[in-house]
Amino acid sequence: MKNRFSRFGWAATTAALLAALLGLAAPAAQAETTPATPSAGKMADLRSGKTTLKVGTDASFPPFEFTDANGTKIGFDIDVVRDLAAKAGIKNVEFVQMPFGNIVPALQANQIDVGASAIYISPERAKVVDFSEIYYPGGLGMFVSTSNDTVKSLADLAGKKVAVQVGTKSVEWLRQNQPQAELVQVQTNDQMFSSVKLGQADAVVTGQPGGRYFIHEQGGLKQVGDRLTNENYGFAFQKTDSDIREAFNTALKGMQDSGDFTKASTKWFGDETSTATGPAKERSIFNVASITNSWGPLMQGLGTTLQIIALSLALSLLFGMLGGFAKLSHLRPIRWIGKVYVSVVRGTPFIVQLFFIYFGLPQLGIQLSPMVAGILALGLYSGSYVTEIVRGAIQSVDKGQMEAARSCGMSSASALRHVIIPQAFLRMLPPLGNEFVSLTKNSALVSFVTISELFLVGQTIISRTFDALTVYVFIGLVYYVLTNIIGLAANAIEKKMAVYI
Amino acid sequence: MALLETKEITKSYGDHHVLKGIDFTIEPGEVVAVIGPSGGGKSTFLRCLNLLETPTSGHVVFDGEDLLAPKVDLDRLRSRMGMVFQQFNLFPNMTALKNVMLPQMDVLKLSKKDAEARAMELLEKVNMTHRAHVYPNRLSGGQKQRIAIARAVAMNPKVMLFDEPTSALDPEVVHDVLDVMAGLAADGMTMVVVTHEMGFARKVADRVVFIDGGTIAADLPPEEFFSESNTNPRIRSFLEKVL
């Protein structure tokens, strides 16, 4: 890692410069641009409060980890990790939201220190991360609609649609043990249960505690058959962080001996032996309460979304201007850079670029905070389109304009600034408006790198309320208003500038 | 010493040889009309004089400096050569007044106040003060061209180059522009005018240069050029078509 890092030092420097440019120098500095430092120093920093223990979790898995109406992360794992960290002498703990499938990669990429998200200890995972002692004996259970009398055992799943969460143990287990089941892979925990309730799948195979919690909260489903597996949850750590792991193990033992662990368990799971079944709860189609109860987090998410849009928009304009002028350069190598930029960035999916920047670059020693990675990816992607807009607009200005300016003795820089760019800018406005509407909508995708913007806040609300309809309608409306404001602003500026047309 | 001089300039686009070696000089205060058939190289020749086109070979010497020398400050030299285009090329994003002010402020570094005073003075000279605060899109062709002339004159050029300045105008306004040009000539401005206006060439020019097939076929005072005794068959055939 070390020697690799020095080789790619220039790239890290560029990234740091960009971060400074974004006015995010502080978080970027925290997001360590160096690879994993020796663990001993890390533990001392955690204990002194100099650094914060970053715990990756997918807070869409009640009762292990989810969020309350204020957006605060709560649940069994949250309580236990807080208690264990305190017992280990670690001062500051921060829970970082991320999709479950990203937790292990995030540990490998040194984005987080601990994974605490009801993670099964599997040999595959143990190859790339280390696990604590078992803290919760879990296992897979099978759940179907209360009205379903045909699925009673694993064998009955043959030819049936079975909902599973992407990246979870259920996927591989079903492939091995019931290959005739048709897997419906969904992104979040609540989508699994919803797909059965909505008839999109016949059954859910997931961790038994989560299934029981859903039935307890929402009803409409029942558990069938025996527990499918006997598997165990552990907290995941980076391979290099053996002393953090040891400290957690010691603290866990202490918690179990003192009875604190049983208390936490009872608080979240209640009586484990109660029968898990119940009728679907009645509720109206739209629940304004789903929105109003979570108004604070939603507005916070909106604030983050606006910040992301504003900064990536500025970056997009910058990249677009640089790219556009590069493509118009008289120098072949510079033109070539512009061409490659547009062809590569426009020719690959945004989500691939985002994941490359956030999960791929750390392998080269370039570690970016989620915000920097998200804004950089959005700016870079949108900038490739703006490049073509800038190039096209400048080329569309009559050649005589440049000749008139030059023949008065104006330098080409002056001519560009006073004559060409003002005219080109007016022509850019309509396509720029379109592009920034696209950018606004694409900003929802940065939720994938754990940024709690509007869309991710919505998803976490759904994981608690199971009210996808109301929440998605509301969030859709917010984006609709945002994109229309951008459209209207572009029109207004164009109208104001177009006095000479 | 000649103010502006070309030595053996040629211009080729691939196999297409537009200029085939042109020697030309103009003294301070002279007005030269450049005429000839379309496609003969008149405009290309004029555009070579301030290097809007770079000659393939030869030299252009202005005010004692070789424009094609390696480290020449072309912007500084161009600021002393005014150019007026067939399509006016006013800057559409600024008013008539600002069009005349911009080069003064940007190149001559005049203050806004001084540039505006001088611009208004010149707009008065071309009878355009009443349209000073109007954008070019609301001006007629003749008005645009008079403002373009004011913009060029504002730079205090030593020579002015006109590239078919009246060819894009409605016939009834051609005279407004020609009158302004005649006024400039009377004030002693050195001018090279590519034109199809034979009346202007005859009355205002000191010399008529006839360019055909990429070479100067004649360089004569107008009275000789237009006289019946000029028996050059190419000139006779051209004049028969345009007169």
Which chain B residue has its CA at the smallest distance from A498's CA?
B93
**Contact call for residues A100 and A66 (beta carbons, < 8 A):** no
Q: Quote the CA–CA distance of A379 and A435 in Å, as a whole number.
A: 11
- Phi, psi dihedrals of residue B220, rounded to the nearest 5°: -135, 155
B224 near A CB under 8 A: no
**Contact call for residues A146 and A280 (beta carbons, < 8 A):** yes
Tell me the pLDDT tens digit for each residue of B5-62.
999 999 999 999 999 999 999 999 999 999 999 989 999 999 999 999 999 999 999 9
* DSSP symbol at B10: E
Q: Quote the CA–CA distance of A203 and A157 in Å, as a whole number.
A: 8
Determine whether the interchain pair B87/A400 forms a contact, defined as Cβ–Cβ distance below 8 Å: yes
Q: Quote the CA–CA distance of A101 and A460 in Å, as a whole number.
A: 16
Distance of CA A363 to the CA centre of its chain: 19
Q: For residue A223, what are the contacts with CB-CB under 8 A and spacing of at least 6?
A: A141, A142, A143, A208, A211, A212, A215, A276, A277
Structure tokens at A330: 């008289």
Collapsed DSSP state (helix, strand, coil) of residue B190: strand
* DSSP symbol at B131: G
Question: Which of A360, A357, A382, A366 lies closest to A442 in space, CA to CA?
Answer: A382
Choose among A414, A422, A500: nearest Cβ to B135. Answer: A500
Regions of chain A with pLDDT less than 70: 1-40, 270-283
Q: Quote the CA–CA distance of A490 and A434 in Å, as a whole number.
A: 9
**Contact call for residues A373 and A358 (beta carbons, < 8 A):** yes
CB < 8 Å to B135, chain A: 499-500
Question: Which of A251, A232, A245 lies closest to A53 in space, CA to CA?
Answer: A245
Q: What is the pLDDT of residue A273?
A: 41
Greater confidence (B220 vs A226) lies with B220
Determine whether the interchain pair A418/B106 forms a contact, defined as Cβ–Cβ distance below 8 Å: yes
Topology of A34-137+232-282 in CATH? D-Maltodextrin-Binding Protein; domain 2 (3.40.190)
Which chain A residue has its CA at the smallest distance from B134's CA?
A500
Neighbours of A275 (CB within 10 A): 9
Q: Return the ∠ at Cα A128 (arms to A231 and A207), rounded to 5°.
A: 25
Distance from A325 to chain B by nearest Cα, in Å?
21
Choose among B75, B85, B137: nearest Cβ to A409. Answer: B75
Q: What is the pLDDT of residue A62?
A: 80
Q: CATH number of A301-500: 1.10.3720.10, 1.10.510.10, 3.40.50.2000, 2.40.50.100?
A: 1.10.3720.10
Q: Quote the CA–CA distance of A444 and A350 in Å, as a whole number.
A: 12
Distance from A431 to chain B by nearest Cα, in Å?
20
Distance from B228 to chain A by nearest Cα, in Å?
39
Tell me the pLDDT tens digit for each residue of A76-104.
999 999 999 999 999 999 999 988 989 99
Q: Same fold for the domain at A34-137+232-282 and the one at A140-224?
A: yes
Determine whether the interchain pair A408/B92 forms a contact, defined as Cβ–Cβ distance below 8 Å: no
Distance from A313 to chain B by nearest Cα, in Å?
26
- pLDDT exceeds 50 at position B75: yes
- Greatest CA span in chain B, whole angstroms? 56
Distance of CA A306 to the CA centre of its chain: 16
Interface test with A, best of B44, B98, B106, B134 (most A CBs within 10 A): B106
Determine whether the interchain pair B85/A400 forms a contact, defined as Cβ–Cβ distance below 8 Å: yes
Note the pTM of the prediction, 2 decimals. 0.71
CB < 8 Å to B75, chain A: 406, 409-411
**Contact call for residues B194 and B201 (beta carbons, < 8 A):** no
Homologous superfamily assigned to A140-224? Periplasmic binding protein-like II (3.40.190.10)
B167 near A CB under 8 A: no
Greater confidence (B190 vs A186) lies with B190
Q: What is the pLDDT of residue A169?
A: 82
Q: How is chain A split into domains, by residue range?
A: 34-137+232-282, 140-224, 301-500
Q: Quote the CA–CA distance of A319 and A391 in Å, as a whole number.
A: 12
